[in-house]
Amino acid sequence: MAEDKKLMLKIEDVTMRFRMEEDRAGSLKETVTKLLSRKLRFKEFEALKNVSFEVYKGDVLGIIGRNGAGKSTILKIISGILKPTKGHVERFGNIVPMLELGSGFDMDLTGRENIFLNGAILGYSKPFLTAKYEDILAFSELNEFINMPLRNYSSGMLMRLAFSIATVVEPEILIVDEILAVGDENFQRKSRNRMKELMSGGTTVLFVSHDMNQIRELCNRVVWLDGGTIRLQGTTEEVCDQYAL
């Protein structure tokens, strides 16, 4: 099934090793004194060990696993934020991460200014944002509040704005780290529909969640990470049935 599809992501033998200092030196003085007294010890910790998988166009890949299994680490490596210690990732399309609540927002700017700022951070172009501005505004249901500074927004309004900006584009690869349930019930339904729309529209999605119902509903393939290695990968049914056990 996968052979006729275009390869979007190739994760090859990725290993990520962190050096954990036993207690991190927070200042120059501490580092110097520790270096002098040879107390700067490191504990090595492998967050990912030889992980390889491929993602094809149109795939909605769920990544599951317990806390600390390396799910977020692999997403960060894929989006280029972290450099793997070993192995490499090949990307064949532009990646848009769905930001966590407010992480690209500036509270002193208005909603409108934030749409442009956040859009720029996500890599959208100016003509694109200008063209889609009305869509974003309509989807977020913020109406006249769009010209107010963000510090006056409620958290639900912030979420709605963030979601609307992140999904207005049809990115080739979308990375979602558990932020599906935002806003009130009505908006949750709307956002879920938008996600489904995106996923059926040929966008490749990498999706991390603990909610097995969501995974079963949305994904067609699942990678199960356990302690930094791939425990199992395959179709949703196979993996989810195993995972439940």
Residue numbers at the binding site for another protein (CB under 8 A): 18-19, 24, 26-29, 31, 76, 79-83, 95, 97, 99-100, 103-104, 106, 108-109, 113, 116-117, 120-126
Comparison of 80 and 202: residue with beta carbon closer to another protein: 80
Comparison of 80 and 156: residue with beta carbon closer to another protein: 80
What's the CA gap between 237 and 215, in Å, rounded? 10
Please state the φ and ψ torsions of residue 49, each to the nearest 5 degrees: -125, 115
Least separation in angstroms between CB 117 and another protein: 5
Least separation in angstroms between CB 217 and another protein: 25
| Contact partners, residue 148, CB within 8 Å, separation at least 6 | 110, 111
Comparison of 48 and 239: residue with beta carbon closer to another protein: 48
What's the CA gap between 17 and 225, in Å, rounded? 16
Comparison of 65 and 119: residue with beta carbon closer to another protein: 119
What's the CA gap between 111 and 234, in Å, rounded? 42
Least separation in angstroms between CB 27 and another protein: 5
Nearest residue to 17 (alpha-carbon basis) of 104, 114, 82, 109: 82
